[in-house]
Amino acid sequence: MRIAEFEADLHAVQRSGRLAPGTGLAAEEKGMGAYESFASVYDMFMDNIDYPAWSEYLTGLLKKYGVSDGLVCELGCGTGNMTELLAEAGYDMIGIDLSVEMLEEALEKKYESGHDILYLNQDMREFELYGTVRAIVSVCDSMNYLLEEKDLLQVLKLANNYLDPGGVFIFDMNTEARYKGIGDSVIAENREDGSFIWENSYDEEKKLNQYVVTLFLPEEPYEDEDEEEMGVPCRRFEEVHLQKVYDVDTIRRLVEEAGMIFEGVYEAFTDHAPDERSDKIYVIAREKGK
């Protein structure tokens, strides 16, 4: 990796944010979880996700709605897994995320792949681009972090503003069926490189899902003189994340209120409409005019 170029890009990423790094709205206050302590191990704990298949589905939607190349912006890009795959598919990518730590991981991948990706440290509710793009995408339920209708509406208005004429905004969202299915539950996983406990709860009345992620990341081992054994100290981190459920009718209303065309909605990874059992949906909104 070219250290000087990496540091220069990281500095540019940090300066790109209208919010200074580390001063984004707290997860427990606004739901905009930044995955700060989770960033370095995010990919390790998400290695069960078939990102190539996911990318194939997303690129299929992009092409179906007329975007086979050109500039594409990903909101909530995280560590850049999908951004990299879309770049590999031939799109000119911009990635936006609230977490500097996640973007640091994305920059590492950028230098390994050699893809010309622009990363920006911005809150999606206030994102700014240098011009318009052919498409905007958002996956991994990033849009569920928008806890108020006014915030979702604002993101839709910004998307409409920064899309080329007739451009599309494609985003996924978890549904109530998914959160009800998870319910009040605890998931734990122990690995050599770290362990986590995921505590989930869903408030059906408020349509809010909360999960608390507790991480235990090992540090350098030490020798216990009394026990004559090697000990492995761990650092403990905790993050609280909130996500909001929006039904299709509400999403359609907000898309149209933002001045966009509601093109359609699909059950995730299919070509048919969702039903009450669908746990994730994909929404397609088209730019209608500034």
| Whether the Cβ atoms of residue 163 and residue 234 lie closer than 8 Å to each other | no
Q: For 62-78, what is the mean pLDDT?
A: 97
- Residues belonging to the chain: 290
Q: Note the pLDDT tens digit of each residue in 246-275.
A: 999 999 999 999 999 999 999 999 999 999
Answer whether residue 182 shows pLDDT above 90. yes
15 band by pLDDT with thresholds 50, 70 and 90:
low
Give which of 144, 198, 197 is closest to 171, Cα–Cα: 144
- Token pair, residue 73, equals 């912006």
Q: CB count, 10 Å around CB of 261?
A: 16
Q: Outline where DSSP puts E strands in the chain.
A: 70-75, 91-97, 118-121, 133-138, 163-174, 185-191, 194-203, 208-218, 222-224, 229-231, 234-244, 261-267, 280-286
Calculate the alpha carbon distances from 14 to 9, 121, 136, 143 in Å.
Answer: 9, 6, 22, 22
Which pLDDT score, from 0 to 100, does residue 42 have? Answer: 59
Which pLDDT score, from 0 to 100, does residue 72 have? Answer: 98
Best-predicted range by mean pLDDT (10-19, 185-194, 236-245): 236-245
Higher pLDDT, 191 or 62: 62
Three-state secondary-structure class, residue 155:
helix
Three-state secondary-structure class, residue 281:
strand
Q: Note the pLDDT tens digit of each residue in 133-175.
A: 999 999 999 999 999 999 999 999 999 999 999 999 999 999 9
24 band by pLDDT with thresholds 50, 70 and 90:
very low
Integer Cα distance of 239 and 99 in angstroms:
13
237 band by pLDDT with thresholds 50, 70 and 90:
confident
The order of strands in the sheet holding 185-191 is 185-191, 194-203, 208-218, 234-244
Q: For 96-110, what is the mean pLDDT?
A: 92
Which pLDDT score, from 0 to 100, does residue 36 have? Answer: 54
- 265 CB-side CA count, 13 A: 20
76 band by pLDDT with thresholds 50, 70 and 90:
very high
Which pLDDT score, from 0 to 100, does residue 2 have? Answer: 46
Which pLDDT score, from 0 to 100, does residue 20 have? Answer: 30
Q: For 86-93, what is the mean pLDDT?
A: 98
The order of strands in the sheet holding 133-138 is 118-121, 91-97, 70-75, 133-138, 163-174, 280-286, 261-267
Integer Cα distance of 264 and 169 in angstroms:
11
Answer whether residue 33 shows pLDDT above 60. no
